[in-house]
Structure 1
Amino acid sequence: MQILNRYQITIFILIAYFFALLCRMEWVIWASSYSDFIWNNQLMISTNDGYAYAEGARDMIAGFHQPNDLSYYGAPLSTLTFLLAKILPFSLETIILYLSIFLSSLIVIPMILIGREFGYAKAFFVASLLGSIANSYYNRTMAGYYDTDMLVIVLPLFTIWGLIRLHFKGDLISFLIIAFSMLVYNWWYPSSYTLCVGMSIFYAIYTLIFERKNLRNYQAILFMILAISAAWYMLRLALILGLFGLIYFRSNLLNFRVMSLLFVVVLSLFVIFGGLNPIWFQAKFYLFRSLGDSSSVEFYFYNVNQTIMESGRIDLGLFTQRISGHWIIFIAGVIGYILLCRKFKIFLVAIPMVGLGFLALKGGLRFTIYAVPIIAMGFGFLLFYMLERLKVKRLNLIAGIISVLALIPSLIHIYYYKPSSVLFNTEVSVLDRLGKVADREDYTLAWWDYGYVIRYYSDTKTLIDGGKHLGRENYAVSYALTMPPSSSANMARLEVEYTQMGYEKDYGGKNLEQILKDYNYSDLTKFLSDIKSDKFNLPQKSRDIYYFLPDRMLGIFPIVSKFSRLDLLNGKEWADPFFVVATNFTQIKDGIALNNGIIISNDATYIDLNGQKFRVNSYIETKYDENMKLSKSIHNIDNLADIYLIYMVDYGRFILLDKEMFNSTFIQLYVLENYEKTPFEPVILDPTAKVYKLKR
């Protein structure tokens, strides 16, 4: 046991906090040497979703936003950022870059305070150092990672601290710590509902098994249920304060009958205001991975969750590294947590966080951060527990040495983990120029990865983004990018106009169904055939549509195509297109060998794929002249062949693709700039990103 006074605890907290903060500054130091990452004299953030909150903050600073522009105006993180921008003498760009550093490092406070309650402050100080920079937590809270993750672990740890403090002290202040941390958590991160329910259930189970006669526990459960109910925040706050006042001033009235009545009332509010609906949604998205997007009754769309790396399954080795930096530290942490729960059964309330962390093995690596602090606390406890049991001399020195060794894997990870900004300044420059020619009511069509950043820098509307990208929403954009220009133009105009009309008439997001209904189509195949025609009768134009085509989209173009390469009537996927992008290649005797085993013949008339030779339809070479104007050298080889070969000289890149992909709007407009005789006109032709305006 390590009994420390408040002064010592404060010193531990400050040391751990500044350690976490300084480690996060390493990326800033590294990134500052790259001009590509700088815009408006400040480093740009490294997370796509961050631009959603940045847009909301920007609009709050301006005092307005456009109707139905999907702005995160008033969102918790946007609101906090807006307030800081008003108070602090820093630009919005500076605040969104550094905010995660200061808020995420707060994780050390509840961790050390929990250790103090257990009497193992030194052990949990070590845990706070490890947990604050463990791989997954660092990745999602580093400088430039402007997202709600900066507090998504901090707040539930305060709840756990409140429950543990209540166990040991039984004071009324613990009720407020529990209730307010859960209330703020629910406000800050609505998806926290599942974890909060889990902690409430486990605390109730713990109470019934181990402390069924402790009245304080049942009162705490009432506070927890009130905090997580879906009632209005002010109503929840009033009920929490009301319950606290009742306990503080009239605790003598809280007999079994009154407590039973309170539980009935509070549980009734819980059910009336939403119940378990949010839990079911989360489980459906991350655990039940169906191909079809069941939000549509008539059609089966491709599930976006199948293409998100964060929600993809991970192997055990990566899982342990993400949580603890190294598998040995992870195993020690798990053992330590088990020992902690044996010694202090109240720590069982942390099981939901551990469970969510282990869910990463099925639901994706994004969940690993939930287990990070708990396993770290287990490691710190095991370290001191074993040293004390072994009666090691110079315990603090030995513990310090082992702690440094345990931190090394995470520190190495920090040194080598160097994500870039979401876009480079040349790409941002294109969006900035677009914002000067487009109206705020105009739409910019692009893949959902770029939705938020488009809205932030060009201030135009988008069809899809990081929050609006279900299969039914992605279908039209995928179609527009992967089909020929005429079909693309028709689909884009339909989708934009019906999206706008849907805000007023509430189509439930089922634009395609409404289009078929309005155009009297009973056969989807017939509609998809007719839409290819230049004579297709389009709705009246209400705004302009721009296409944002970045060079970086080449890498995900096959994924983009998946969302429109399926039979919507049964969800059956079509065969993947032939699409290969290669930047690593070498000259050999037989031709040019790409890094994936494909060989291009010396005369570029055929390719060798796994021992089979395929004729090339056309070989095209693109190159920019001194005026940055694209020139093309086209060599027609075999009109009956299905394979096209493009060499982008300035990029040192080969593209091998089939006829369908070659005719796609993205390839024709971005790679080849074949916009003549199409419904598009160029607006910005930059090598890093190109913008076209739809003329229809």
Structure 2
Amino acid sequence: MDRKKILVSLLIIIIAIVLGLAYRFYSIHVWNQNPSKYYYKGNALYTEYDAFYYSYYAKAFSEGLYKPLKQDPLRFYPDKIATFPPVIFMISFLSAELSKLLHISIENLSVYMVPILAVLFVIPLVFYLMDLGYPFAAFSSSVTGVLSLIYIARTLIARLRPDCMNLFFPLAIAYFLYLSQFRQPKKSYLYAFLAGIFAQLYYWWYMHEGIILAFAIVYIVSFGFTEISKKSFLHIFNFDIYRKRWKEIVIFLISTNPIILYMGIHNAIFLINVYLIDFFRPTMGVFPNVFVSIAEAARVNLHYLAQLTSGNFAVFIASLVGLALFLIFNYKKFLVFLPLFFIGLMAFKGAERFAMYLAPFLGLGFGYIFDLLIKLNFKKINNVKNILAGVFAVVLTLVPLAPNIVIAEPKITPQLEANFINLGKITPKSAVIWTWWDYGTAIEYLANRATFHDGQSQIYPKTYFIATSYSDSDPKIAYNTISSISNIGNTGIEKLLKQKNSPQEIRDKIFNGQFNAPLKRPTYFAFTQDEIGKFGWINDFGTWDFKKKKGLFEPIGQLGDCSKISKDTISCGLNEINTKKMYLKTPSLKLDINTLAIYDNKQLTVKSLDIGSLYIDIVYSENSKINVYILEKQPFYSMFNQMYILRNYDPKYFQLIYDNFPTMVLYKVNKVPLK
């Protein structure tokens, strides 16, 4: 590139980085206005569940407890298959080292580190498009990438997870592969080497070798495509072409590390099975598929996809048209970007998380339209037509994205973080926590206690059985499930499946206590406030019908702003509950209450009329707050409602040892049932 192109490239990069940081750091201003909501003892609260996972490894590394490929003592109990990764994730390593160097907590470091890393991808992207001579495409792709709603949401402050560099490394790899194809031999060798180094760094960052393997395959095949002429398509099968460029190919493969490429075969098969084949099936294998309950894994429609990426449906359609034109006229120089591009295209079939990979390419397409229309000549940069076109392109790119101001919201409350830290004090070091998977790694990180599953191991059959302990109405079955899983683990379930036991047969054997044994380690059943909103899905899995391949999605509703206005009347906004006459009155109708449970001052009172289908819990907290929950019959009698909301439990199987409702309620599971 000449000097003028370099200066324009730097200007675009600076604009994109400044905009990207401004939108992300705005959350800091909001947080500082209300620190009691966003910080706990001066430390930022994480805005992503997975942040606890990477912090857990950073903490283990700092304390000298990280043992590559050795069993992880806190994860996926009782199975001994959870091991520390062969290499610590780069994001965990950076967090540990920078935290130590800067004398700052990992949590507070993530407030600044994540947004800064998130905007760096514009560097290789802008240089690539400017090298092709497309300044408008460079501007629009970089700005759309950093300001797309999906990418902002996934790279907010305190969101410590690999997303923040998952565009940078693939784009850097592709950019250097592109340069190695279209530069003189000596320089091409250097660029192939740099591409390999960035591929290794990408593995260290994300550890998805399958994507790196895809880059290697596309890179090799692309040499054949660059020689395609109008006369013959068969050049791609001409071995002489690859023989001429064998040095670049070998340099890239060696510098990438052949071991990583070999591992990529297995990883690619896994990624295809998970994200393309099993992703939206109701079952994964023979047990219910938890992916269908994960918000970021949800499939999106075109209008929502447009909002997540381009910010506007008209711009979205124009971007697709422009992108198609770009691919037609520049496909030879785009081939090495295909692995990343295909991940972006999965947003049309797969989950919304893939939209962050699509956004920069849509921006490329939108900007390319202006490059085609204007054909900007850098020798005539002062041309009025070019200036007006530039302003028009900038405005049309920015206006749909301007409203994308997202305030980072913690995934954990200060009260729950305090409770998890306290959990490590009120339970023995050998304790194991039975709870839903979302806060698994939070417990491992904050309480230093083992869990049965977490956000990195929720796809196994064990998760189904944990769900049943929430949804079933029989405390004996809940106990038998905990005892059986503690004894045989997921390994035992897989063994039973190989012995031709059906899922129903395995479930029945576990429910009947066939695999019960005295608990080897102190085991605790923890309920947390977030599970109220998640109960619909937990119950769906826990009541799964293996023949119909569906469960009962029965969420628990909650009425807000409740207060007692008379001895027998509770007002919740526009709704009114009469506890004596047993009815719920709304602005439009009056409903009979079948069963009313009132928990006040550690006493439970249950009234029943056996008419209607409405079940209501009224729970008085120590701070005099009134919590009102609306349920159907099945959720009302579930262990979740009885043990967590109503504190109604069977002491034969469980002991209530910590009650800070609604933040957390904790039971100790008896080693053996009491007589």
TM-score, reference length from structure 2: 0.82
Measure, in 2, the Cα distance between the counterparts of 1:377 and 1:641: 58
Deviation by residue 1:416-451 (Cα, 9 ceiling, x = unmatched) = x23421110011111111111223331111111111
State how far apart, in whole Å, the 2-side matches of 1:491 and 1:353 are.
43
User: How much is the aligned-residue C-alpha RMSD, in angstroms?
Assistant: 3.7
> 2 CA distance for matches of 1:481 and 1:363?
29
Structure 1 residues 119 and 673, CA, compared in 2 at 3 Å: closer, same or farther? same
Give the distance between the partners of 2:49 and 2:107, measured in 1 at CA: 14
Q: 1:2 touches 1:120 (CA, 8 Å); kept in 2?
A: no
Question: What is the CA deviation profile of residues 483-509 of structure 1, one whole-angstrom value per residue up to 9, with x for unaligned ones?
Answer: 23332223213222433xx7xxxx376
| CA 1:431–1:342: 2 relative to 1, 3 Å | same
Q: Which among 37, 47, 68 is matched to residue 73 of structure 2?
A: 68
Paired amino acid for 1:180: I
> In the alignment, does 2:178 pair up with 1:188?
no
Partner of 2:509: 527
Q: What's the CA shift string for 1:641-678, capped at 9, x where partnerless?
A: 76532134666654333443223222122211124635
Deviations 1:318-341 (A, max 9, x none): 112222222233233333333333
Q: What is the deviation of 1:476?
A: 2.0
1:329 to 295, 315, 328: 315
From the superposition, tell whether residues 658 and 39 of structure 1 become closer, same or farther in structure 2 (CA, over 3 Å). same
Structure 1 counterpart SS, 2:535: helix
Residues 375 and 494 of structure 1: is their aligned pair in 2 closer, same or farther, counting only changes over 3 Å?
same
Report the CA distance shift for 1:152/1:428 in structure 2 as closer, same or farther (over 3 A). Answer: same
Q: Tell me what 1:621 maps to.
A: 598
Contact 1:158 1:181 in 2 (8 A): yes
How many angstroms apart in 2 are the aligned matches of 1:466 and 1:124?
Answer: 37
Distance in 2, matches of 1:438 and 1:69, equals: 14
Partners of 2:297 and 2:131 in 1: CA distance: 36
Identity over the aligned pairs, expressed in percent?
Answer: 22
Structure 2 residue corresponding to 1:277, chosen from 263, 266, 270? 266
1:485–1:678 Cα contact (<8 Å) kept? no
Query: Counterpart of 2:415 in 1: which secondary structure?
Result: helix
Q: In structure 2, how many angstroms separate the alpha carbons of the residues matched to 1:8 and 1:578?
A: 54
**Which residue pairs with 1:482 in the alignment?**
471
1:309 is matched with 295
**What is the distance in 2 between the residues matched to 1:604 and 1:384?**
73
Q: Over residues 172-196 of structure 1, what are the superposed CA-to-partner deviations in whole Å (9 max), with x where a residue is unaligned?
A: 2211222122222223213362x43
1:27 aligns with 2:27: yes
Q: What whole-Å deviation, never above 9, does each CA across 1:495-524 have from its counterpart, x for those lacking one?
A: 22433xx7xxxx37637669999xxx9954
Give the secondary structure class of the aligned counterpart of 1:178: helix
Letter in 1 for 2:308: R
Residue number in structure 1 paired with 2:537 = 559
Contact 2:657 2:666 in 1 (8 A): yes
TM-superposed deviation, 1:402: 3.5
For 2:369 and 2:180, the matched residues in 1 are separated by 24
The equivalent residue for 1:369 is 356
SS in 2 for 1:4: helix
State the partner residue of 2:151.
Answer: 137
- Structure 2 distance, partners of 1:78, 1:571, is 43
- Decide which of 636, 644, 647 is 1:662's aligned counterpart: 636
**1-structure distance, mates of 2:400, 2:223:** 39
Unpaired segments of 5 or more residues in structure 1?
234-269, 295-299, 624-628
SS of the aligned residue for 1:543 comes to: coil
Deviation, 1:618, is: 2.1
How far residue 44 of structure 1 moved from its aligned partner, in angstroms, is 1.3
Distance 1:81 1:180, change over 3 A: same
Task: Indicate the residue corresponding to 2:344 in structure 1.
Answer: 357
| CA distance, structure 1, for counterparts of residue 368 and residue 20 of structure 2 | 20
Alpha-carbon shift at residue 695 of structure 1 (Å): 2.6
Work out whether 1:573 is the aligned partner of 2:550: yes
**Which is worse superposed, 325-334 or 309-318?**
325-334
Query: Structure 1 residue 546: deviation in Å?
Result: 1.6
Counterpart amino acid of 2:528?
Answer: P
CA distance in 2, matches of 1:199, 1:673: 55
Q: What is the TM-score when the length of structure 1 is the normalising length?
A: 0.80
Q: 1:541 aligns with which of 519, 524, 542?
A: 519
Shift of 1:277: 2.8
Whichever residue aligns with residue 620 of structure 1, its letter is A
| 1:13 Cα deviation after fit | 3.2
- The answer (yes or no) to whether the contact 1:616–1:642 under 8 Å persists in 2 is yes
Tell me the secondary structure at the aligned position of residue 563 of structure 1. Answer: helix
Residues 108 and 128, structure 1, Cα contact 8 Å, conserved in 2: yes
Point out where structure 2 has 5 or more consecutive residues left out of the alignment.
76-82, 228-234, 236-240
Rounded Cα–Cα distance in structure 2 between residues aligned with 1:203 and 1:307: 37
**Higher alpha-carbon deviation: 1-10 or 56-65:** 1-10
Structure 1 position 402 matched with structure 2 position 403? no
CA contact (8 A) 2:181 2:223 kept: no
Q: In structure 1, what is the Cα distance between the partners aligned to 2:350 and 2:37? A: 34
Counterpart of 1:422?
Answer: 411
Alpha-carbon shift at residue 49 of structure 1 (Å): 0.8
Return the match for 1:510 from 486, 494, 503: 494
Look up the SS of the partner of 2:409 in the other structure.
coil
The number of residues matched between the two structures is: 624
Amino acid at match of 1:103: L
Q: Is 1:634–2:606 an aligned residue pair?
A: yes
Change (3 A) 1:662 1:215: same
1:694 aligns with 2:669: yes
Residue 169 to residue 515, structure 1, CA distance change in 2 (3 Å): closer
